[in-house]
Amino acid sequence: MQSQKIDQIKAEIAAANAETPEELEAYRMRFISKKSVVGALFADMKSIPNEQKKEYGQQVNEVKQLAEEKFKQLIEEVNTSGQQRTGPGPDLSLPPTTWPVGGIHPLTATRQRIVEIFERIGFNLSEGPEIEDDWHNFTALNFPENHPAREMQDTFFIEKDPDIALRTHTSSVQVRVMENEKPPIRTLSPGRVFRNEAISARAHCIFHQVEGLYVDENVSFANLKQTLYHFAKEMFGKQTQVRFRPSFFPFTEPSAEIDISCQLCGGKGCNICKGTGWVEIGGSGMVDPNVLENCGINSEKYTGFAFGMGIERIAMLKYQINDLRLFTENDIRFLQQFRGLL
């Protein structure tokens, strides 16, 4: 009975296998530990008749030896197979694999920078609808019907209702702000605008503007100039020169175009500035009293200035981009160059 059990355990030991540390531990528990089947054979010693004790003891010791030899063999096997599986192991000192991350679009980055500059001198942000009515886009801004200035800002209308159009400038947002708020007003309106223009390197039917408005008592042209001097130097660098050229806009009087010294040639004259040393960045002026009155603001008491710039124009000057279409073509080779703007 006992010898049958011993033979069975011997066969089991001979057939035992271990490929992983877990299997090795299972073997140790079954054949080596105190509670193992071999341990149990020793415990059985006391029930063996005295005359058989010697022989039984020899057999059990033999099983114990077999179990231990097999254990050593299995340890070696598990160690070597473990090495084959994982090789020399990972080198933790190597730099990690980096995943390509996206970047901010140059127009978004430019808009953020413009907003940041004006926010620091007390301007807040305002938004309005891209689909506007005639009043907010033209009439309130002193564009009388059939006025030639409407021609300059031809846009997209719907046939059924010519009162509805895609806004041609973000000045419409300023009208909405003036209608709803009381001075002092100091606001910046960035956004997308639309014009009926053929797409070329210098014009597009969709582009972005940022307009500023300051209405309060005693706002003067000197305030306007100082604000734009500050902006130009913050945006393009301390060496930047600014000049104002008289101009016409229906909604401002007097009106002026804003030029800055050419970033490329530093004012000496080149292709970008067409030899003049100056490039235009936008328009500006004192808000026409009619516009203030149209929006319910007393023009006897309050004055204001307004300015507007194309975000594409600013980005093109800042990063020396020579084709407006690049902004909307989604060419990854173009966009990748602005990854550092994050």
If the CB atoms of residues 79 and 276 are measured against Zn ion, the closer one turns out to be 276
CB of 240 to Zn ion, least distance (A): 13
CB of 92 to Zn ion, least distance (A): 54
If the CB atoms of residues 117 and 265 are measured against Zn ion, the closer one turns out to be 265
Asked if 191 and 208 count as a contact pair (C-beta separation under 8 A), the reply is yes
CA angle 97, 99, 102 (to 5 degrees): 155
If the CB atoms of residues 254 and 269 are measured against Zn ion, the closer one turns out to be 269
**What is the distance between the alpha carbons of residues 218 and 301, in angstroms, rounded to a whole number?**
8
Q: What's the N-to-C CA distance of the chain in angstroms?
A: 82
- 253 among the known binding-site residues? yes
CB of 242 to Zn ion, least distance (A): 15
Please list, in sequence order, all residues whose beta carbon lies within 8 angstroms of the beta carbon of residue 47, skipping any fewer than 6 positions away.
none
Tokens of 269: 């004259």
If the CB atoms of residues 149 and 265 are measured against Zn ion, the closer one turns out to be 265
74 to 30, 34, 303: CA distances (angstroms): 14, 19, 94
CB of 233 to Zn ion, least distance (A): 18
If the CB atoms of residues 205 and 270 are measured against Zn ion, the closer one turns out to be 270
Asked if 174 and 297 count as a contact pair (C-beta separation under 8 A), the reply is no
Residue with the CB atom nearest Zn ion in the bound state: 262
Q: Which residues pair with 34 in a beta bridge?
A: none
CB of 273 to Zn ion, least distance (A): 3
**What is the distance between the alpha carbons of residues 69 and 52, in angstroms, rounded to a whole number?**
26
DSSP state of 194: E
CB of 269 to Zn ion, least distance (A): 6
Say whether 313 sits in a helix, a strand or coil.
Answer: helix
Please list, in sequence order, all residues whose beta carbon lies within 8 angstroms of the beta carbon of residue 236, skipping any fewer than 6 positions away.
260, 263, 317, 318
Tokens of 3: 């010898």
Binding site for Zn ion (CB under 5 A): 262, 264-265, 270, 272-273
If the CB atoms of residues 107 and 273 are measured against Zn ion, the closer one turns out to be 273
Q: Could you list the residues known to form a binding site for Mg(2+), using ranges.
A: 253
Q: Could you list the residues known to form a binding site, using ranges.
A: 253
